[in-house]
Amino acid sequence: MMITKKAIPRRTMLRGVGATLALPLLDGMVPALTALAKTPARRVSRFCTVYVPNGIIMKDWTPAAEGSAFELSPTLKPLEAHRRQLLVLSGLDNTGASSRTGNPGSHAKPAGAFLTGVEPLQTTSSSSLDLGISMDQILAKTISQDTPLPSLELGLEGADTVNGVGTCGVGFNCAYQNTLAWASPSTPLPVEPNPRVVFERLFGDIGSTDPVARSARLRRQNSILDSVLDKVRRLHGEVGRRDQRKLDEYVDSVREIERRIQNAEANGRKLPLVDSPAGIPVDYDEHARLMFDMQALAFQTDSTRVITFQIGREQSGATYPQIGVSDSHHPISHHGGDPKKIASLQRINAYHVSLLGYFLDKLAATDDGDGSVLDNAVILYGSALSEGNRHDSRNLPLLLAGGAGGRIEGGRHLKYPRRTQRLTNLQLTLLNLLGVPAEQFGDSTGERLGELSGVARATTG
């Protein structure tokens, strides 16, 4: 093999009319002499929060044993294939929900504090919102400086989710519980549930967000990738066989996602456009998988390194007939000890975890140079509430998936003594592990959780 100092820049993009195709990591992006010297390319840190609403049935979530000998609980069973890269965390409290008044509230306060560590100011006006900068946005300012998109804020809830409008709970603006990401104490970042809009944000011009105008444009243009395929073919002839295979697989995956979005648009429900924007599939499973597929592509192409994804917003009234739960999620979370409601919540909790498993499968199967994307990423999964029946924001259901480039030791259940550890200390630790040298975050005590990387061990409580 000829050794050359030339390499394809990691930020290479193929541009066409209305389309921009970022490339996955190719062998040709790592200088041959670097590979010959056995010096691995610098690992890229990625962070994603996957949020679930209304709390979780904790007895079915929490593993019985601690340390590496733990067995996955019934709710976590769908993640068995990724056990080695899971770190289940017990005993962390969402103390930010009561950092100002001492009153944890119901949904708005815990949700608002989940990624900010700050209790929301009670207000119904969108002009007087006061919270904090969320962890993901602090990360984005550091690790996503060189990416086309600083961050993505995604969700599965429909167009009835209007950030910053309405009152949720007693005297709280709905922005506090409808969105996780805050660019400033008064600026919530809107959640995008439409796969078509996300696809165009990643690979082409967004154009009009009006469903009618967008559908008309799609009829004129079969694929936003057509205009860059000549450049893909040209690049195909300039790289080695392994990179050719990667390019083929990548273009095929983008094509497949686009096909599924077009099918969803063609077969959408006959509802008012405001309730069913073009691109959101009727089928819940398909919607969730499409959104997870595009997150995987965003990481694979280094289009962004920071994502927040809400499977549902707090007080979500979603129903899940596909798993035999036709009742609304939020009302049954107030189960009052009713065994039938608890059983329905258990099914919802396990179903949400199975969707996470699908995402982890995609990341684990995606090459990232020295390992997979999952090896180099951190996925924070959890809820701002533990027991939804009581609006309890202590002992949250949390797990980390992924290796953070070797900086996190998985395959363990860490249990902290009751009322001793804060969610914000975990987030401060993650900020530092991922490249942000922070001393403080939200209401954290400044303590770093060294046990995430196996340096120390949490004690039994």
From residue 211, alpha-carbon distances to 163, 195, 200, 279, 290 in Å are 19, 12, 13, 9, 18
Instruction: Evaluate if residue 161 carries a pLDDT over 80.
Output: no
State the average pLDDT over residues 424-453: 95
Share of the chain above pLDDT 90, in %: 56
Question: What pLDDT is recorded for position 40?
Answer: 46
Phi-psi region of 419 (alpha: psi -120 to 50; beta: other; left: phi over 0): left
Which residue ranges make up each domain of the chain?
Answer: 1-42+196-279, 49-193+305-453
Percent above pLDDT 70 for the chain: 75
Calculate the CA dihedral of residues 344, 350, 353, 358 and round it to 10 degrees.
Answer: -110
| pTM (predicted TM-score) | 0.81
So what's the architecture of 49-193+305-453 in CATH? 3-Layer(aba) Sandwich (3.40)
311 or 236, which is more confident?
311
Q: Report the range of poorest mean pLDDT among 19-23, 247-251, 385-389.
A: 19-23
- How much is the average pLDDT of 261-281? 52
Joined tokens for residue 193: 């549930």
pLDDT higher at 22 or 194: 194
Closest to 359 measured CA to CA, from 347, 345, 373: 373
Q: Is 207's pLDDT higher than 60? A: no
Rounded Cα distance between 271 and 153, Å, is: 25
**Tokens 């002839």 identify what position?**
237
Distance between CA atoms of 179 and 189, rounded to whole angstroms?
7
Please give the average per-residue pLDDT across 381-387, as a whole number: 96
Residue 341 pLDDT? 97
Distance CA 16, CA 171 (A): 49
Give the residue among 186, 157, 184, 188 at the shortest CA–CA distance from 175: 188
The number of helix segments (H) and strand segments (E) in the chain equals: 14, 13
**325 has pLDDT over 50:** yes
